[in-house]
Every structure is written in structure tokens, then in C-alpha cells.
Amino acid sequence: MSDTGVVVVTGADGFIGRTLVAHFESAGRAYRAFVRRIDPARRVNPAARAVGDLAQAADSALDGLLVGVHAIVHLAGRAHILDETDPEPAAAFGSANVEATARLARAAVRAGVQRFVLASTVKVNGEVSAPGRPFNPADPPDPCDGYARSKANAERELGAICQGTSVSAIVLRLPLVYGPGVKGNFLALLDEVARARPLPLGAIRNRRSLLYVGNLVEAIDAALDARTPPVGVHYITDAESVSVPTLVTAVGKALGIPVRLKAVPLRLLAFAGQVTGRRALIERLVGTLEADPTSFIDATGWRPRHSLAEGLNATARWWRLRHSI
């Protein structure tokens, strides 16, 4: 790690943000943790700053928060929501993911920040990659939902605002991230495997890129510390991609629970998804979605140190503590 000054982490109280802040503390890197609000009932991190809604914050407030800042790691945003309830989801995604990124980028330019690392998603390129053809940075965007479109727009805004300025814009497109503290579908998978019921996933033949949060925080280190900033779009993934049955079996091994996979034909899975309103979830389970991290490896020298088994074992230890098992 180079002594490069203060790094702002937005979304510092989220799953990835908490891990990154803990990593920075362990490494001795100076940081400011931007959160929407501070909960007085919890231990307050002295580095935390309550910033409210970044899309609505006054320019003067943002300018004050970025004094002396060398780099920004922008994790905050509105994540993909499977069961959407907002009456205007496009507007909500636009505000949280596009406008907030744009306003923070303009403030970064005014403050003379050197690097701006944006956490984006492989979904900017679509929900499915061709077998044996992982997404790479040269592929044209093909976002399929409001979340992915907002991330694609955020990437464009960041690049346009930072072009010709002191700010190096670095976009990291991420696959499904897992690790201690994970939420969403991966937590649901852990819970489902722990029930030890037969799972109808044995017939799936696909490949999915994943990313252990421990590998991600080291990739962020590399983006911040590389002698030449790795400007542009890159993918960050674990070293190995896996099929859904292989992943489920590995999760069971980490939890110490035998997994029973039933080879239900894919057409029946698709029908069940349609009947239950979970069509999108089934399509994600069945489809291949791989990304190629080569450009980032070449630009920074980073490589994912932690294997799938290491990441899942750490996640399982956290899950057992969560459930007092």
C-alpha cells in the first residue's frame, strides 16, 4: 500500500463497505466513511461522516467533505431489487445511482481528487454471456433492467465528467459478491442449503463468475495504488467460475451439510418460475454469466488470492455465528 492520502468510502455501512473499511483499518490506510446517517445506538466510527442523500447534498457540503481527499471508492447506490415495490423504480435508480455519482464526480473534480473508483456490475453487459465467451471491456453494453441501465448511465456520467481533469475514472464491474455479511440471493442460498432439503438444481449446466469480498477489497487496493491508474472499465472476479450445482455443493461442504440435488429438467424449472412469479430468478440460476478480469490483472498486477473454498468457509463461519450454530 502506498501512502497516498485519505480515501473516501461511500456506502461504508453496507456489506462491501464494512469489509473495505475494516480492511483499510487493518492496513493503516487513512479513510473517511460516508454513510447516509449515523445510528447513535451503535458504536460510532470516528471516521464516519453522515452525508444524507448524495443526490441531494449541497455542493458546498460535498466540497467540505472532500477537502484533503486523494481518492474516492464509490460503493453507495440502489442495488438490484428482485421484488420491486417503488412506484417509479427508474427514477429511484436514476437518483441513487446516476445523479449521486455525477454530483460526487463533479465535487471530486473541484477538490482535485486523483482517483475515483466506481463499483458497477457485470449486468451492464446483460444477464447472460455466451458459453466460453466471458464479457470483456470491449463488449458493448446491453443492460436489461432499470438497475443495470442506471449503472451504465453512471459509468458514462463519471467518464464524461472526469475526462480532461485530474481525476482518473476507474470502473469495476462486479459479479455476485459473497462473503461474511452477505445479503440478498446469496444469503437466501445459504439458508436454503442449511435446511437440507432436496434442491431441484442438479440438471443445470452453466458457468457463473463470482467474487469473494476479500478478493474485491484487495482489487480496490490495487486500483488505488497502481503506479499508473487503471483508467476505464474492468471486470473483477474470482479465479474460478462455477456451475450452480458445483456452487451449491461447495456451500454445503462449507456449512457441513450434505446437499441433495435433484436433476429437474430445465423446462420444468422455467415453468415453475413462470407460475410462481420467479421467472427472472430461475433464468439467472440457469444462465451462464462470466466475465474476464484480464485487463485489470494486466493493468495492476492484482490477482485473486482467495479460492472459492476459502471464501465460502469464511462466509459459513459468519453464517453459523449469525444463527448461533
139, part of any domain? yes
pLDDT of residue 2: 46
Task: Find the CATH number of the domain harbouring 128.
Answer: 3.40.50.720
Q: Between residues 281 and 5, which one has the greater pLDDT?
A: 5
Domain of 232 in residue numbering reads as 6-178+211-238+290-305
Q: What digits encode the pLDDT tens for the residues 142-174?
A: 999 999 999 999 999 999 999 999 999 999 999
CB 19 within 8 A of CB 180: yes
pLDDT of residue 3: 47
- Residues 44-71, mean pLDDT to the nearest whole number: 92
The string of DSSP codes covering 153-206 is: HHHHHHHHHHTTSSPEEEEEEE-EEESTT--HHHHHHHHHHHTT--BTTTT---
296, part of any domain? yes
pLDDT of residue 129: 96
Question: Quick check: 84 pLDDT over 60?
Answer: no
82, part of any domain? yes
Question: Quick check: 1 pLDDT over 90?
Answer: no
Chain-wide mean pLDDT for the chain? 93
Phi and psi for 210 in degrees, rounded to 5?
Answer: -130, 170
271, part of any domain? no
Question: Quick check: 54 pLDDT over 60?
Answer: yes
190, part of any domain? no
- Residues 75-88, mean pLDDT to the nearest whole number: 74
CB 215 within 8 A of CB 305: yes
Q: For the chain, what is the radius of gyration of the CA atoms?
A: 20
169, part of any domain? yes
Q: Identify which of 126, 135, 251 has the alpha carbon closest to the alpha carbon of residue 182.
A: 251
pLDDT of residue 79: 85
CB 281 within 8 A of CB 202: no
Q: How far from chain centre, in Å, is Cα 37?
A: 21
187, part of any domain? no
| Count of structural domains, the chain | 1
**pTM of this prediction?**
0.94
22, part of any domain? yes
